[in-house]
């Protein structure tokens, strides 16, 4: 089954979620696991995916949406390739998390939740990352960075951007693969 999201006019192949749903749809208490798998597949949880999960599991759409909006791990909008989570917990707040957010916002040129023009970054504030001894801290992907300053934050973002550009340059394309275009 394919659906076309009216939001961004891109087609979503809902069948990609079928192996997960075949395994968990009838298992009570598996909604979070299904949602995690869906977000892994699609990068976020668009309305068509949530409706499909509801249909396949028999869980009411309001409950599915309630779970998605309750847990901060779930996203209902696309994000950049690198999602930056800025801790705004008490320790990080006291140690200057607002300065870190300012540095990120200024360096990337986006507001919270927006995707940078190159598609590499999105940042979101979170209540706590659970690493108070590293305050102020951010998490990018699965890596945590702590004891940050504005300068060290910008350095991290610059290094990540350079690494992404280098990786793109080294990716094979039809033009630079031996044997020519397909």
What is the side-by-side order of every strand in the sheet holding 82-87?
121-126, 82-87, 138-140, 143-145
pTM over 0.85: no
pLDDT at 10: 57
Cis upstream peptide for 84 (omega within 30°): no
Mean pLDDT of 138-167: 96
pLDDT at 173: 62
pLDDT at 174: 56
Q: What is the pLDDT of residues 1-52, one digit of tens each?
A: 444 444 444 589 999 999 999 999 999 999 999 999 999 999 999 999 999 9
Nearest Cα to 57, choosing from 33, 13, 27?
Answer: 27
Q: What is the pLDDT of residues 73-124, one digit of tens each?
A: 899 999 999 999 999 999 999 999 999 999 999 999 999 999 999 999 999 9
Out of 87-96, 158-167, 168-177, which region has the weakest mean confidence (pLDDT)?
168-177
Say how far apart CA 106 and CA 122 lie, in whole Å: 13
Domains of the chain: 2-70 (1.10.10), 82-170 (3.40.30.10)
Mean pLDDT of 54-63: 97
């Amino acid at each position: 089954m394919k659906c076309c999201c009216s939001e961004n006019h891109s087609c979503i192949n809902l069948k990609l979620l079928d192996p997960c749903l075949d395994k968990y749809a009838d298992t009570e208490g598996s909604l979070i696991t299904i949602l995690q798998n869906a977000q892994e597949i699609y990068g976020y949880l668009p309305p068509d995916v949530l409706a499909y999960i509801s249909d396949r599991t028999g869980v009411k759409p309001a409950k599915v949406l309630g779970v998605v909006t309750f847990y901060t791990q779930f996203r209902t909008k696309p994000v950049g390739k690198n999602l930056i989570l800025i801790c705004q917990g008490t320790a990080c707040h006291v140690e200057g998390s607002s300065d870190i957010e300012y540095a990120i916002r200024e360096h990337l040129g986006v507001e919270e939740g927006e995707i940078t023009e190159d598609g590499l970054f999105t940042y979101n504030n979170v209540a706590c990352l659970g690493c108070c001894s590293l305050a102020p801290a951010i998490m990018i992907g699965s890596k945590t960075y702590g004891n940050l300053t504005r300068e060290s934050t910008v350095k991290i973002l610059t290094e990540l951007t350079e690494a992404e550009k280098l990786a793109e340059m080294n990716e094979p394309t039809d033009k630079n693969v031996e044997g020519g275009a397909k």
